[in-house]
Amino acid sequence: SQQGEEDPQALSIQEGENATMNCSYKTSINNLQWYRQNSGRGLVHLILIRSNEREKHSGRLRVTLDTSKKSSSLLITASRAADTASYFCATDARNQFYFGTGTSLTVIP
Amino acid sequence: NAGVMQNPRHLVRRRGQEARLRCSPMKGHSHVYWYRQLPEEGLKFMVYLQKENIIDESGMPKERFSAEFPKEGPSILRIQQVVRGDSAAYFCASSPGGRDEQYFGPGTRLTVT
């Protein structure tokens, strides 16, 4: 299936540390997006990276994309307790997006 | 500019009843997507619609589920004769174009008793 898969499934870090989560997918994509979901809430779009881009920054977020390895990583620097959430990658295949099962990030104050 | 709105936020139905979930996209957005999220799982694509057209419904179960996005009014996801396995959070997202960022609503949590 096209579904993105995040790794690790769960991550727990101290406030101030960096958090890195990875996403792998199976077929060619047009773009890859990262979303955040706080418990019981809707998803919030974080960042979109196109297939011809290798790296993108947005505030404390840094996303890389390696199309040869079919993988992406999301780095959150100087984490805060408010970053505690689930993070999903979504890959664009034709008319639809496929979401992985997410990485659950806990930032300990 | 109001975000994507979904209602109701919570819906409880008995087995065999019908569930109607509504989604109002962001102003200016003509593309709507529906996703389902089962407990402890990721989002699963269900259907992609533009105004008055279903573009891709490959993620929709073949029976009991239908979706529409009329020229006027919200997009509706309809589940007939609900079963316990339909209990999930249903998210709607909208975008201005087919390849743009999707903006998600808060979701409707459906519980089938």
Q: Summarize the confidence of residues B46-57 as an average pLDDT.
A: 91
| AA letter at B70 | P
Question: Which residues on chain A are in Cβ contact (under 8 Å) with B105?
Answer: 42
Q: Which residues on B lie below 8 Å from A48 (Cβ)? A: 101
Q: Is the pLDDT of residue B63 over 90?
A: yes
Nearest to B74 by CA among B38, B113, B20: B20
pLDDT value for B99: 67
> With 50 as the cut, is the pLDDT of residue B2 above it?
yes
Separation of alpha carbons A19 and B24, rounded Å: 35
Pick among A1, A31, A97, A98 to test the B interface (most B CBs inside 10 A): A97
A18-65 pLDDT tens trace? 999 999 988 888 888 999 988 767 788 899 898 999 999 999 999 999
Q: Is the pLDDT of residue B1 over 70?
A: no
Q: Among candidates A95, A100, A66, A13, which has minimal Cα distance to B95?
A: A95
Which of A99, A103, A104 is the best mutation test for B, with the most CBs of B within 10 A? Answer: A99
- Does B32 have pLDDT greater than 60? yes
pLDDT for res A45: 85
**Among candidates B9, B54, B4, which has minimal Cα distance to B24?**
B4
Tell me the sheet residues that pair with A88: A35
Question: Parallel, antiparallel, or unpaired for β A55-58 and A61-66?
Answer: antiparallel
Summarised one tens digit per residue, pLDDT across range B84-94 is: 999 999 999 99
Residue B46 has pLDDT above 80, yes or no: yes
pLDDT, position A39: 77
Q: Which residue has the higher pLDDT, A51 or B42?
A: A51
**What pLDDT, in 10s, does the model give residues A62-107?**
999 999 999 999 999 999 999 999 999 988 766 667 777 789 999 9
Quote the minimal CA–CA distance from B96 to chain A in Å.
14
Nearest to A42 among B56, B58, B105 (CB): B105
Name every chain B residue with its beta carbon within 8 A of the beta carbon of A100: 42
- Chain B residue closest to A6 (CA)? B42
Q: What is the mean pLDDT of chain B?
A: 91
Contact A102 B42 (CB under 8 A): yes
Q: Which pLDDT band, with edges at 50, 70 and 90, does A1 fall under?
A: very low
